[in-house]
Structure 1
């Protein structure tokens, strides 16, 4: 058994981490740190855990854990690590964007490995620190990585993706308020989303130069999930594209190529990514679907933890979607 700690346990990703770790056969939760809820039962915030745990939020950081998850707002992980230290053996998995880009990956003698197992599995296994990918970045990269490796992203790539309201975090904002979000849809940050940097670095990591990404993110009137569509010119046939994706994802336990068009309910509440290919004239359309809180955040963090500690990759992540 390994001892785990969670920093920032009151948000959506922290709550999902608690839920997943409570059911992980190789991990114990040592503490869940929160500055705003110290001493309160975790179930007063995460009511879905009622009857599953008697843990309380801690106001104290315990440095002697095997792995610590940082579930803090973007820009706050670096500040936290300046003010707090852990034992030399403690592995760090950060769920913010503080260490995702190559220019930010080295911190205090540690090299943060970009934690997308379908791209960096061997590096993750040996890593001491992980920068967990963003949710949009995960969905989009899993749609495009096989093409990037084959140097088939030579023409502009157009991406349209819609996310649920949990992607905006637990704090209330005008665009996550029920009265605004319900029966509504809108785009935001057109062509300038913060995940573009990490996506670009991954697509170019094979030594090929990917063409320009045109990414339009959208807000959906649902709570969980990301459905992403990406299309670009493709000279080969549909069957050739499928063989390319099958070969790339041969050993990817959580990424599945579907023969049928996909939808969000297939993946919500799982660590799966489902991918579908469609060809129209000289355009290849790639659709991917993930749960933004699990494969796009907490589940992928557990997947990385499993790899770092030598557990089976799917330990504690054998989750089924509810499609009806």
Structure 2
């Protein structure tokens, strides 16, 4: 059971925000599929996978983008210049998809080293693409300047209440499918998924395990420091989890609950991803296998009988490096 910190004020993102998002995007996003794990597959006697990679645009990001866009259309403040966002790829895809559904333009700034598969998908969604620098932070600054110059409304890959609340609708669906769940394991980059899921999980008495690569540890470092800090970014999963700084909402929810923050080395992320291909024929991105690596490696060890759900958050990846096995 999660327990609140009584010294904290009202949360940046609340469960009420998640519930509002669920109503707003109902029928726009695909319900998550929840599938039982084989015995020992995730290191728990009772385990499940949440197949969120089957979501529109291939990741959970569609939830936040749908909520963000629909909310601004509802209030009539969507500008003629449309939406602009910086993204490693997945948030940009979601933004472009949601904007096209609403008949508005989307401009996406992303690093020059973004996976080619994500760039190609962005083009297919009609986004105006700008590739700058080699890190998300550079693309973010460029997107802010574009918004200032054009009047486009600035979205964010993770640090926005509407985006995070939309992501939290995933936990609502997991809880509906698994009402007796004890723990949910999610990968963390900038913290949008974590903060939304944590807000909903706290309401339902579910522990959240926050898994990060050893060298992309924005949440873990901020928890350790007791305040937001910048971190270096160097991981095989950096295209999705490579935020230098986690959101204030993520740190807020990490402090507010008994969240468990764990780190995993890149080698285990790669192994977990290969294992999902070998055992389930799932070609997920490294961000998704980061959550699985947390329980496969013992970074988080469930108690006997603990009911655990691992979120496989995205599959916008080139499967060419997955090894075919007999």
TM-score (norm 2): 0.34
Larger Rg, first or second structure (1 or 2): 1
Bigger helix share: 2
Q: Give the TM-score normalised by the residue count of structure 1.
A: 0.34
